[in-house]
Structure 1
């Protein structure tokens, strides 16, 4: 089964054209993602003094 639906990487809700997430967008400027935007899994997040890393067991690691 394949899906093209994307998920909000902060709250985990579906991202659709009609439903914006302004609170999530402003919070993401200061916080790392908590959910994988491709599969909606909760990620393991580590915040460091020089940035952050988030790991999805299905899609790997992202850094910021």
Structure 2
């Protein structure tokens, strides 16, 4: 038998993934502009600093709690 239950939803973003500040009032404007060219530095779910690696083909960011993101 296979498990056909949906994958767990990603936690809602509580923190800016660029500066680590709260996004309760919306993301900081400077971060919105910079996000297009930069990888995230902070986990948006738990506010932990992520390990980021940038290579010519893209980037990867790893949170010890929530795993890896790629771009």
Same fold (TM over 0.5): yes
Query: What residue in structure 1 maps to residue 56 of structure 2?
Result: 49
Q: Offset of 1:5 from its aligned partner?
A: 6.5
Query: What residue in structure 1 maps to residue 20 of structure 2?
Result: 12
Q: Which contiguous aligned blocks of 4+ residues in structure 1 show a shift greater than 2 angstroms?
A: none
Structure showing greater Rg: 2
**Which structure carries more strand by proportion?**
1
Q: Aligned-pair RMSD on alpha carbons?
A: 1.4
How many residues end up aligned between the 2 structures? Answer: 60
For structure 1, which runs of at least 5 residues remain unmatched after alignment? none
